[in-house]
Amino acid sequence: MIFELMGKKLISYDLEKSSENLRENFEAFIQGLISFPLNIPGTAYYKCLQGRKKVMRMLKNMLEARRAKPNKIKIDFFDYVLEELKQNDTVLTEEISLDLMFALLFANFETTSQAITIAIKFLTDNPRALKELTEEHEKIIRKREHPEAGVTWKEYKSMTFTFQLINETLRLANIVPGVFRKAVTDIKYKDYTIPSGWVIMVCPPAVHLDPVNYKDPLNFDPWRWEGMDLKNASKTFMAFGGGLRFCVGADFARLQMAIFLHCLVTKYKWQTIKGGDIVRTPGLQFPNGFHVQFFEKHK
């Protein structure tokens, strides 16, 4: 659902009108994103490279088609990228712009959809958390002059327990298992020196699941965030990275999750049908899916 939405908003992608199945190519890319680099047919790494190659070819063909016949009015984000490419003082090149579109398509659907799915899993297994979340959002609706109105910015900012639940979900889920940085100078750490130019892999789960930082780290406990900063990164919470390369979409991801949870708990009930088992490969996966049945709440 999220992939279809973001595909339309970013590049006006429509599966029924396209010769390329964009989602299948991205799934192949994701499955081999952190895999043994054996580039022969049949391996996850090979499929990963082929998936990216097909998506990039599709984006390049789209860019050339738009240049040949530009839209009179901007209909998606790609149009704004093309407009920027025309500027004399732009830092964008064709290669950078295509990489940008690829990264946005990947980041906008894969991470958010996984986080929402595991949030539903945690709520299903934790009736107390579900009850408090539901009460928070039903209270928001009761305060409205028009109950059917959309969520306002003021209402969004008031969702304290929702943000606690989102942080705890991200802490436990560790959607991004590794963050890469390059040492720009020699770095001394204890008795070791990391030479300039070396690539460093930061492992967020090592921090998020450390009992020194979090009591009972494997326990789902959104109440542990009470009274804490719920928006910024720190040395003990880096679900969206940190520093100068902090995820530019962090606030948008939180907004997506909060609005989804608001609609979910105020309009629906659900029960598990099957699945829900979680494995890491090393990213988060539901090998048997997570199947739930939804029921509309009676007003």
Report d(CA 230, CA 98) in Å as an integer.
33
Taking only the tens place, the pLDDT of each residue in 195-247 is 999 998 888 999 999 999 999 999 999 999 998 876 777 888 988 888 777 88
**Residues near 218 by beta carbon (within 8 Å), at least 6 away in sequence:** 172, 209
CATH superfamily of 126-299: Cytochrome P450 (1.10.630.10)
Listed by start position, the domains of the chain span: 1-92, 126-299
Question: At how many degrees (to 10) do helices 250-267 and 160-173 cross?
Answer: 110
Residue 12 pLDDT > 90, yes or no? no
Known binding residues are: 247
Taking only the tens place, the pLDDT of each residue in 18-30 is 777 888 888 888 8
Report the C-alpha dihedral over residues 257, 153, 12, 16, rounded to 10 degrees.
50
* Residue among 104, 110, 29 nearest 59 (CA): 104
Q: Are 176 and 170 in contact (CB under 8 A)?
A: no
Instruction: Give per-residue burial for 41-67: e unless 16+ CB within 10 Å, then b.
Output: eeebbbbbbbbbebbbebbeebbeebe
Q: Which amino acid is located at 130 in the chain?
A: L
Taking only the tens place, the pLDDT of each residue in 50-93 is 999 999 998 898 888 888 888 888 888 888 888 888 888 888 88
Known binding residues for heme are: 247
